[in-house]
Structure 1
Amino acid sequence: MQDSGILSTFQDPSASPGGPSLPSPEPGRSKDLVFDTCQVGVVLRAVLFVQAVVSVAALYGAQGVAHWVSQHALFTAASLPAVLGWLLVLCASKRWLACLPMPVQWATAIALGAFAALYGCGLMAWADLLVPAPWLASAASGALISAVMVAALVARARARAPAGAAAKLAELQARIRPHFLFNTLNSAIALVRAEPAKAEALLEDLSELFRHALADTQEAVPLWQEMALAEHYLAIEQVRFGERLRVEWQLDANASGARLPPLILQPLVENAVKHGVEPSPTGAKVRISTQRRGSSVVIKVTNTVPAGSGARGNGLALDNVRQRLALLHDVEGRFQSALVDGVFQVRIEIPL
């Protein structure tokens, strides 16, 4: 038997022969930012929250509905540019903020909130709509509102860690299920004498799966890495099912840099094999595709199902994927699954 290439496989997951062509990894991104305002969902929630505060504040001193509406419009004209400016500055400076200690990040965001409120107050004073201008009250309100929003963003960011850890544990347990491990090892044993090169490749794929399962938890990984992991899993199952497993890849190189939660595609591919290939005597076709569409990336995993069977996919696995996408990408991440004309389809859309 030739020298093992397992160690070299660890260095480059995309280098395995016969699989889809995958680009080289991107430089690592900082994970120290305690809050992130560069998401559509965050912007929408921040604007709605500030508008709710404005609506309540306009009630003070209102002498009727018409007066309240005018006060609300006045406060909105001052607060909307301020909150959008606050979000934009924090988003633009996220790389710089990530290099700062957490208390400094908090202080910076709160100070920017006070400055943004002063900016809004200045606009109204310049237009002679606020006389006299409440400079101190505006700065205090901006600091307080920004502190509340930062606290909410930090709490949301921290909520990702246990969800990711729980999902990682579930994937690890699924991947080391006895029947999967024993089937893989038995296949390798059967190939050792007849086809030692295939047996070596099979064990390399298995070791790569375990390497990813036991790696340190990350919030997000590039799409090319998830595709490489799916390739290793399907290579193992290809040995087991042979011609019954027909795999089709359609990968867009321009989509490879999209970020998504780790270990999120493999359970979808596993479901496709379990519920499409395994119960069918003639096997099934598993199709994996990626496509860049403007500023978003669409990922599809489809498999044919035996005639007369329904969408028996693992509901827990699908719910897990949906929840983890929502945690990472909020409203910008979309997940859909359906059984259409004998083909079970899973569609994921994420921002690039």
Structure 2
Amino acid sequence: MQEPQILSTFGELPDPDAPAPVARALLFDACQAGVILRAVLFVEVAVAVAALFGAQDGWDWLTRLALWTGGALPAVLVWLLAACSLKRPLSRLPPPGQHAAGVALGAVAGLYGCGMLALIGLVDPAPWLACAAGGAWLSALVVAGLVLRARARTPAATTARLGELQARIRPHFLFNTLNSAIALVRAEPAKAEALLEDLSDLFRHALVDQGESVTLAQETTLAERYLSIEQVRFGERLRIQWSLDPRAANAQLPPLLLQPLVENAVKHGVEPSASGADLRISTERRSSSVVIKISNTVPGGQGVPGHGLALENVRDRLNLLHDVQGQFQAALKNGEYLVRIEIPA
């Protein structure tokens, strides 16, 4: 018999006395669709407000807005393109350096926008200094907003991590699993060993830092481990159907995202029902996106009331990683509870 992995799990944890590695992260990732949309919208609103000053009437305001947008929109697109192209070099800079680089790129973009207006004869002479200052000021505000969002990410991730640990190491789940293993030790020792190895893997993933994201393949493997444990406990009451698309395997997810969802399905679908429940997990790649569905039948077709903390946790963490490119939906329909996640491929 192989040596059970559960005893070695804690030996793989990092030394708490060892100095933590210093890693720099990019404060503003201009390659993300959410950042692009927010930057364009923010600059357009700022231009619209600025056009109000000196406008004689609504038509005059629209004329000014169209004129200034002709310079501001190309400028913000140039800023986004430059920041995205320089993503790697910028990530190597310390935070003050990233701030300064963002502002400097804004000044250059402002000069570009001013040059565009001057080239087509809409401004003469071109207010070069005002354009550079305006570009630097607007980019400073955009970078400041993105920095605040990045700072908000840390406590959210910490809270999510604590929630994950609480869900993974709940005493009743641990005791139920160990009791199942004890019952199998004499009759089916190989099955008991496999059960403990699955439990070991769950602990390993819960206690070892995995970074910001993992692949969908890793997440489905972990969910399979969890469901293997619950299958021993519930037997025929837990009926599982997998439908996994190999083309979706490399999509990125926050770590330990799927396991709480399948745990919810077991808790609210299988546990309260004497006849058990049908649980279906599917992944599918559709063009540039990946769709993940987790559904389970519920007792009597009515949902079991809960706090919804796990779902909120998943929604928040998905939004932090993929922003507007990630979608999360959950609903009870026709006696089945369905969770649908869509992420970039």
TM, length-normalised to structure 1? 0.89
Aligned pairs (5 A) from 1:23-34? 32-34=25-27
Alignment partner of 1:307: what SS?
helix
Q: Please list the CA deviations of residues 193-221 of structure 1 after superposition, one character each: whole Å capped at 9, or x if unmatched.
A: 22111111111111111111112263222
State the distance in 1 between where 2:167 and 2:112 align: 54
1:259 paired with 2:262, answer: no
State the distance in 2 between where 1:256 and 1:145 align: 40
State the distance in 2 between where 1:64 and 1:40 align: 35
- For residue 3 of structure 1, report the CA deviation from its aligned partner: 3.5
Counterpart of 2:2 in structure 1 is 2
- For residue 4 of structure 1, report the CA deviation from its aligned partner: 3.6
1:271 paired with 2:264, answer: yes
Counterpart of 2:230 in structure 1 is 237
1:118 paired with 2:111, answer: yes
State the distance in 1 between where 2:7 and 2:253 align: 26
Task: Check 1:92–1:249 CA distance in 2 against 1; reply closer, same or farther (3 A cut).
Answer: farther
Specify which of 139, 151, 162 is matched with residue 158 of structure 1. 151
State the distance in 2 between where 1:64 and 1:232 align: 67
- For residue 135 of structure 1, report the CA deviation from its aligned partner: 0.6
Alignment partner of 1:194: what SS?
coil
Counterpart of 1:218 in structure 2 is 211
State the distance in 2 between where 1:178 and 1:3 align: 24
Counterpart of 1:85 in structure 2 is 78
Counterpart of 1:171 in structure 2 is 164
AA aligned to 2:120 is: A
Q: Please list the CA deviations of residues 105-154 of structure 1 after superposition, one character each: whole Å capped at 9, or x if unmatched.
A: 22222111111111000011111111110111111111111111011111
Counterpart of 2:288 in structure 1 is 295
Counterpart of 1:52 in structure 2 is 45
Does the Cα contact within 8 Å between 1:160 and 1:328 map onto a contact in 2? no
Q: Please list the CA deviations of residues 319-341 of structure 1 after superposition, one character each: whole Å capped at 9, or x if unmatched.
A: 22122222222222111111222
Does the Cα contact within 8 Å between 1:160 and 1:219 map onto a contact in 2? no
AA aligned to 1:40 is: A
Counterpart of 1:24 in structure 2 is none
Counterpart of 2:186 in structure 1 is 193
AA aligned to 1:2 is: Q
Counterpart of 2:13 in structure 1 is none
1:347 paired with 2:337, answer: no
- For residue 244 of structure 1, report the CA deviation from its aligned partner: 1.5
Does the Cα contact within 8 Å between 2:301 and 2:336 map onto a contact in 1? no
Deviates more, 1:135-144 or 1:302-311: 302-311
Alignment partner of 2:332: what SS?
strand
Counterpart of 2:124 in structure 1 is 131
1:207 paired with 2:200, answer: yes
Specify which of 74, 88, 94 is matched with residue 87 of structure 2. 94
AA aligned to 2:179 is: N
Q: Give the length in aligned residue pairs.
A: 333
- Could you list the structure 1 runs, at least 4 aligned residues long, displaced by more than 4 angstroms after superposition: 5-10
Alignment partner of 1:228: what SS?
helix
State the distance in 2 between where 1:276 and 1:234 align: 13
Does the Cα contact within 8 Å between 1:97 and 1:105 map onto a contact in 2? yes
Counterpart of 1:184 in structure 2 is 177
Counterpart of 1:71 in structure 2 is 64
- For residue 75 of structure 1, report the CA deviation from its aligned partner: 0.5
Does the Cα contact within 8 Å between 2:4 and 2:196 map onto a contact in 1? no
For structure 1, the residue ranges without an aligned partner over 5 or more in a row are: 11-29
Larger RCO (alpha carbons 8 Å, 6+ apart): 1
Counterpart of 1:318 in structure 2 is 311
For structure 2, the residue ranges without an aligned partner over 5 or more in a row are: 11-22
State the distance in 2 between where 1:259 and 1:93 align: 23
1:108 paired with 2:101, answer: yes
Does the Cα contact within 8 Å between 1:9 and 1:204 map onto a contact in 2? no
Deviates more, 1:293-302 or 1:213-222: 213-222
Deviates more, 1:342-351 or 1:101-110: 101-110
1:227 paired with 2:257, answer: no
What is the percent sequence identity of the aligned residues? Answer: 67
What is the alpha-carbon root mean square deviation over aligned residues?
2.1
State the distance in 2 between where 1:53 and 1:141 align: 10
Q: Please list the CA deviations of residues 276-331 of structure 1 after superposition, one character each: whole Å capped at 9, or x if unmatched.
A: 11122222121111111111111111111222532545512112212222222222
Counterpart of 2:14 in structure 1 is none
Task: Check 1:95–1:326 CA distance in 2 against 1; reply closer, same or farther (3 A cut).
Answer: same
- For residue 50 of structure 1, report the CA deviation from its aligned partner: 0.6
Task: Check 1:185–1:8 CA distance in 2 against 1; reply closer, same or farther (3 A cut).
Answer: closer
- For residue 8 of structure 1, report the CA deviation from its aligned partner: 10
State the distance in 2 between where 1:63 and 1:309 align: 61
Deviates more, 1:190-199 or 1:269-278: 190-199
AA aligned to 2:316 is: Q
